Amino acid sequence: MAFTLDLDSSLLQPVQIGDTLAPNRIFLAPLTRSRAQADATPSDLAAQYYAQRAAAGLIISEATAVSRAANGAYVNTPGLYTDGHQRKWAEIAAAVHDAAGRMFVQLWHVGRMGHPDIGGVETVGPSAIAAKITAHTPSGPKPLPVPRPLRTDEIAGIVADFRAAARRAVDAGMDGVEIHSANGYLLHEFLSDVTNRRDDVYGGSPANRARLTAEVVEAVADEIGAGRVGLRISPGGTAADMREIDEVSAYEALLHRIAPLRIAYLHVRIDPTSTTFGALRALWPEPLVLNADGVDFCQLESFADWGAIAAAAVGRRFLANPDLIERLVLGAELNEPDKATFYAPGPVGYIDYPTLADLDEPQSA
Ligand SMILES: Cc1cc2nc3c(=O)[nH]c(=O)nc-3n(C[C@H](O)[C@H](O)[C@H](O)COP(=O)(O)O)c2cc1C
């Protein structure tokens, strides 16, 4: 059923997100689309895809690897660690800015979710605990291997990779970066006691498990300025076989440590009715972006009305409706997302979802 947003809706009001002024509070959630080139350069179609969604208060890009070793959970996912990658991201930033939009690049290391047949690199993680998940490799589905636990002396290099990729993002003209510490990838794996059984300074206590994400946030904020840094977390999330049980303590430690930095926003993928959300909300003084799977716009509007959230990130409905904001204002029906083309190569299901204007155009014979 269509939902109409009044023009004076809280979701349509501007909000300052660090250094970026978002003209509305409906953001594009990060969405892996598996259209990048074999060398991790974004697709030639990516600029068009993102520019189509420039009416979002903020575009958050698909997850983007900080190094070759950080990639390889899914085929054809982009990176930002070569000059060629940076040039393509610069084209994307220019296209989004020309369409009057704003964009952050989401940066990740896939950790134990990587498969050597996809990324051509060894699978690593905090501890030797495999995700019981099937990877979609070029030669068919395969179980994920047991990751090699990272040595303590390797971790500074990973922090440095995040710093360098953030520098490239800003040099490419992006408005900022979002650090991906959610959904069962490397930084999340360090936070969670399900996947982190280390006995060095990166494991054990909540503060130790939070250390890697905190160090990445601190390094990236130092490199590009805190006002251009967002952080995504998914406490209690079950994505990627996390089965997280002790979901609060490491997140509390993390937020205590990074709150003084005053980064642009914290992006939380969570059930907003959970006690965890309430606990973490109370700890976070800066803008909070909520992503709640499939939650309707009426509820998101209520959260914004109460001041519980600065903005809502919307994934699948934005994927299928490049003109989502306009449709909400007009109360128009939404296109349904087509799961079959979420990760399929090529333009279909990527840049060809019709806008209302497309539907109004007379069909050629
Ligand atoms: C096709 C697809 C790709 C996704 N890729 C990413 C990603 O790259 N990074 C990330 O943090 N979350 C990713 N997610 C999770 C979404 O950002 C979001 O949390 C999820 O879709 C729930 O929000 P929604 O109900 O608004 O779609 C992805 C989800 C989908 C459906």
What is the predicted pLDDT for the residue at 2? Answer: 84
Give the mutation target among 3, 26, 32 for probing the ligand 1 site: most ligand atoms within 8 A of CB.
32
**Superfamily of domain covering 10-104+164-177+223-359:** Aldolase class I (3.20.20.70)
Is 50 a residue of the active site? no
Whose tokens are 């009044």? That residue is 6
User: Would the CB of 342 count as within 6 Å of ligand 1?
Assistant: yes
User: Relative to the CA of 316, which ligand 1 atom is closest?
Assistant: 27
DSSP string, 66-124: SSGGG--SSTT--B-SSHHHHHHHHHHHHHHHHTT--EEEEEE--GGG--HHHHSS--E
User: Relative to the CA of 343, which ligand 1 atom is closest?
Assistant: 1
Q: Which token pair is 325?
A: 């904001």
Closest CA to 232 of 276, 201, 196, 270: 270
Q: Whose CA is nearest to atom 11 of ligand 1?
A: 30
Give the mutation target among 183, 265, 295 for probing the ligand 1 site: most ligand atoms within 8 A of CB.
183
Residue 152 alpha carbon to ligand 1 centre in Å: 31
- Distance, in Å, from the CA atom of 111 to the CA atom of 67, rounded to the nearest integer, reads 12
pLDDT in tens, 47-85: 999 999 999 999 999 999 999 999 999 999 999 999 999
Can you give the residue ranges of every domain in the chain? 10-104+164-177+223-359
* Mean model confidence pLDDT for the chain: 96
User: Would the CB of 230 count as within 6 Å of ligand 1?
Assistant: no
Residue 128 alpha carbon to ligand 1 centre in Å: 26
Between CA 153 and CA 166, with CA 225 as vertex, the angle to 5 degrees is 55
- Distance, in Å, from the CA atom of 78 to the CA atom of 62, rounded to the nearest integer, reads 8
Catalytic residue among 49, 50, 74, 185: 185
User: Would the CB of 293 count as within 6 Å of ligand 1?
Assistant: yes
Q: Whose CA is nearest to atom 22 of ligand 1?
A: 293
Q: Which token pair is 219?
A: 């390094």
Closest CA to 165 of 183, 178, 184: 178
User: Would the CB of 53 count as within 6 Å of ligand 1?
Assistant: no
Q: Whose CA is nearest to atom 30 of ligand 1?
A: 31
User: Would the CB of 62 count as within 6 Å of ligand 1?
Assistant: yes
Composition of the chain by helix, strand, coil, percent to 5: 40, 15, 45
User: Would the CB of 267 count as within 6 Å of ligand 1?
Assistant: no
Question: What CA dihedral angle connects 108, 112, 113 and 118, to 10 degrees?
Answer: 90
Residues, the chain, total?
365
What is the predicted pLDDT for the residue at 363? Answer: 54
User: Would the CB of 65 count as within 6 Å of ligand 1?
Assistant: no
User: Would the CB of 269 count as within 6 Å of ligand 1?
Assistant: yes
What is the predicted pLDDT for the residue at 238? Answer: 86
| 79 secondary structure, DSSP code | B
User: Would the CB of 300 count as within 6 Å of ligand 1?
Assistant: no
pLDDT in 10s for each residue of the chain, 365 residues = 689 999 999 999 999 999 999 999 999 999 999 999 999 999 999 999 999 999 999 999 999 999 999 999 999 999 999 999 999 999 999 999 999 999 999 999 999 999 999 999 999 999 999 999 999 999 999 999 999 999 999 999 999 999 999 999 999 999 999 999 999 999 999 999 999 999 999 999 999 999 999 999 999 999 999 999 999 999 988 889 988 876 689 999 999 999 999 999 999 999 999 889 999 999 998 999 999 998 999 999 999 999 999 999 999 999 999 999 999 999 999 999 999 999 999 999 999 999 999 988 765 54
